[in-house]
């Protein structure tokens, strides 16, 4: 089978839960923006930003280390080692968060109740202990079970949200049950729904979790940790680019920067735009799930450099369709999915945020060189550069430009990572990327996006119709131009 077709097939299967989940989660956006005021929506975004950092720390690069060493030695042994290590550390981490929840709230100056932090402690624990079982499914190409596990979790999370925030209040108003009907609702329901949904993954992965024989061989674990620690540092620095602005936004935004809005409310409005920029992450996440095993399996092939170059080219082509489509239809998407008009104030940020995610997706493609050559320490250098740009950019731009500064900073940070990764990578694992063609495609897409916003029709319906029409034309032309090479049995 053509390796490109195999990668596309597995990316579809592994990405299906993410794609379906993101799409289904769009059902929650109008719900959350209807029942929660911007201050609450901002608090939810801030907590999940901290969660993104902790998810990296809880798994500390062991998934990638597991992929790396199971290609050389006994897979079951390394599976047991990785699972045991994460289980032990997760008990310590979550136990500490649970016990010291009040102190954590005070230290981080969070506007939440103690029980919410304890919910998060359990959520982190479950997310961590299912990470290696899910990685095992990916390595074994059991895409269907992987997809079922993730989709079940996502579907239940949405179901519980709908029950807690719609069904139960409705039944309470009808006098059928006792439930809080006073809006705005407590944000704790969002995290309770997440916690309950996570239980489904433990049940589905019963065999991979409860039938594994726990092992701890220091020599093997040390080998994995030595390989994984740069992945951990890279992950923390990398997630800083995406989530640091949500953590520090309220502390950097000057008082009364936005008339009549608190910093927490402004963060909530910014989070609405960030949610609508998530489409680019669909392609990136699907690619990451299928990409790592694929690249490791193809790395020794003599045609690997050319194959990797084609993968990047087609990835960018798909991502550009997403960028153009979502950017040109941001007003329509916002009208449909943002419950309150005040959340739509930041829709102009969507193309900027998507542009930054495009650079991030390119970086993810480029980064394979230091993984297959065991030079993961370069990943740390690259991610630290991005993290530093994110930190400095947010500190300088948020006080001046507000959430526009945060969006622009993400573009600068991802761009710096992409460029640095490309030039260093070409020295150690030369790949003939079609830089000129990729740059030209990005330029064309950028002209379309900018021109549309510059000449945007004042008529709402004309704006919607034109956005959809241009998107369809662009996607159709892209497909017609590339289809022969995409479906070719030959790599060249």
Residue 359 lies in a domain: yes
**Is residue 115 one of the residues assigned to a domain?**
yes
What residues contact 321, with CB distance under 8 A and at least 6 apart? 471, 474, 475, 478
pLDDT tens, residue by residue, 138-153 = 777 787 788 888 888 8
For the purposes of burial, counting CB atoms within 10 Å of the CB of 119, is it exposed (0-12), middle (13-18) or buried (19 or more)? buried
Evaluate if residue 212 carries a pLDDT over 90.
Answer: no
List pLDDT tens digits, range 90-130: 999 999 999 999 999 999 888 889 999 999 999 999 999 99
Average pLDDT, the chain: 85
| Domain presence at residue 18 | yes
Looking at residue 489, its pLDDT comes to 44
**Residue 322 belongs to a domain:** yes
- Note the pLDDT of residue 419: 96
Q: Does residue 169 carry a pLDDT above 60?
A: yes
Q: How confident is the model at residue 492 (pLDDT cuts 50, 70, 90)?
A: very low
pLDDT over 90 at 4, yes or no: no
Q: For residue 310, what pLDDT is reported?
A: 85
Residue 195, domain extent: 3-486
Give 31's contacts (C-beta < 8 A, 6+ positions apart). 161, 162, 165, 166, 339
Domain count along the chain: 1
Tokens of 267: 């963060």
pLDDT in tens, 255-275: 889 988 888 999 999 998 988
Is 492 contained in some domain?
no
Which residues have CB under 8 Å from 444's CB, separation 6+? Answer: none
The pLDDT of 276-289, averaged and rounded, is 75
Residues in contact with 70: Cβ distance below 8 Å, sequence separation at least 6, in sequence order: 78, 79, 139
Residue 134 lies in a domain: yes
Q: What is the pTM of this model?
A: 0.81
> Cα(246)–Cα(223) distance, rounded to whole angstroms?
35
Separation of CA 478 from chain center: 26
- What is the arithmetic mean of pLDDT over 359-364? 92
Q: Measuring CA to CA, which residue among 467, 469, 468 is closest to residue 451? A: 467
For residue 276, give both structure tokens.
Answer: 């609508």
Residues 382-405 pLDDT 10s: 988 999 999 999 999 999 999 999
Q: What pLDDT band is residue 135 in, cutting at 50, 70 and 90?
A: confident
Using 50, 70 and 90 to split pLDDT, how confident is the model at 491?
A: very low
Whether residue 471 is contained in a domain is answered as: yes
Instruction: Report the 3 state secondary structure along the chain.
Output: CCHHHHHHHHHHHHHHHHHHHHHHHCCHHHHHHHHCCHHHHHHHHHHHHHHHHHHHHHHCCHHHHHHHHCCCCCHHHHHHHHHHHHHHHHHHHHHHHHHCHHHHHHHHCCCCCHHHHHHHHHHHHHHHHCHHHHHHHHHCCCHHHHHHHHHHHHHHHHHHHHHHHHHHHHHHHCCCCCCCCCCCCCCHHHHHHHHHHHHHHHHHCHHHHHCCCCCCCHHHHHHHHHHHHHHHHHHHHHHHHHHHHHHHHHHHCCCCCCCCCCHHHHHHHHHHHHHHCCHHHHHHHHHHHHHHHHHHHHCCCCCHHHHHHHHHHHHHHHHHHHHHHHHHCHHHHHHHHCCCHHHHHHHHHHHHHHHHHHHHHHHHHHCHHHHHCCCCHHHHHHHHHHHHHHHHHHHHHHHHHCHHHHHHHHHHHHHHHHHHHHHHHHHHCCCCCCHHHHHHHHHHHHHHHHHHHHCCCCCHHHHHHHHHHHHHHHHHHHHHHHHHHHCCCCCC
In a domain, 491, yes or no: no
| CB-CB contact of 97 with 69 (8 Å) | no
């Amino acid at each position: 089978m053509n390796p490109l077709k195999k990668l596309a097939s597995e990316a579809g299967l592994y990405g299906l839960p993410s794609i379906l989940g993101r799409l289904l989660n769009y059902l929650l956006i109008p719900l959350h923006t209807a029942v929660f005021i911007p201050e609450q929506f901002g608090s939810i975004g801030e907590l999940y930003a901290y969660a993104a950092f902790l998810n990296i720390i809880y798994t500390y690069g062991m998934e990638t280390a597991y992929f790396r060493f199971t290609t050389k030695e006994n897979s079951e042994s390394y599976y047991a080692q990785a699972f045991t290590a994460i289980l032990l550390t997760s008990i310590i981490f979550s136990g500490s968060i649970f016990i010291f929840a009040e102190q954590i709230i005070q230290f981080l100056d969070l506007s939440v109740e103690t029980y919410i932090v304890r919910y998060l402690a359990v959520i982190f624990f479950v997310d961590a202990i299912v990470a290696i079982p899910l990685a095992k499914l990916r390595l074994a190409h059991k895409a269907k079970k992987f997809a079922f596990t993730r989709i079940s979790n996502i579907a239940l999370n949405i179901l519980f949200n709908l029950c807690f925030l719609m069904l139960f209040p409705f039944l309470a108003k009808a006098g059928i049950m006792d439930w809080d009907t006073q809006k705005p609702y407590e944000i704790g329901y969002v995290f309770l729904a997440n916690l309950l949904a996570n239980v489904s993954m433990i049940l589905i992965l019963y065999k991979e979790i409860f039938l594994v024989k726990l092992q701890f061989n220091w020599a093997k674990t040390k080998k994995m940790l030595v390989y994984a620690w740069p992945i951990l540092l890279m992950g923390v620095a990398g997630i800083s680019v995406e989530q640091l602005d949500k953590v520090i936004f309220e502390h950097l935004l000057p008082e009364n920067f936005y008339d009549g809005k608190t910093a927490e409310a402004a963060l909530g409005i910014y989070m609405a735009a960030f949610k609508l920029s998530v489409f680019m992450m669909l392609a990136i996440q699907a690619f990451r799930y299928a990409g790592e095993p694929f690249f490791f399996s193809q790395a020794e092939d003599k045609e690997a450099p050319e194959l990797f170059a084609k993968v990047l080219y087609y990835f960018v082509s798909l991502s550009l369709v997403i960028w153009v489509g979502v950017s040109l239809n941001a007003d329509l998407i916002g009208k449909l999915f943002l419950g309150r008009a005040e959340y739509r104030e930041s829709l102009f940020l969507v193309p900027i945020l998507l542009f930054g995610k495009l650079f991030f997706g390119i970086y993810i493609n480029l980064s394979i060189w230091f993984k297959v050559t065991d030079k993961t320490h370069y990943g740390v250098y690259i991610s630290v550069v991005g993290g530093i740009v994110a930190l400095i950019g947010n500190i300088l731009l948020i006080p001046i430009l507000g959430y526009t500064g945060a969006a622009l900073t993400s573009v600068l940070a991802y761009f710096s990572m992409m460029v640095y990764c490309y030039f260093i990578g070409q020295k150690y694992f030369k790949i003939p990327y079609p830089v000129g063609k990729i740059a030209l495609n990005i330029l064309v897409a950028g002209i379309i996006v900018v021109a549309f916003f510059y000449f945007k029709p004042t008529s709402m319906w004309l704006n919607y119709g034109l956005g959809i029409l241009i998107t369809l034309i662009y996607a159709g032309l892209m497909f017609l131009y590339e289809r022969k090479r995409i479906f070719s049995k030959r790599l060249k």
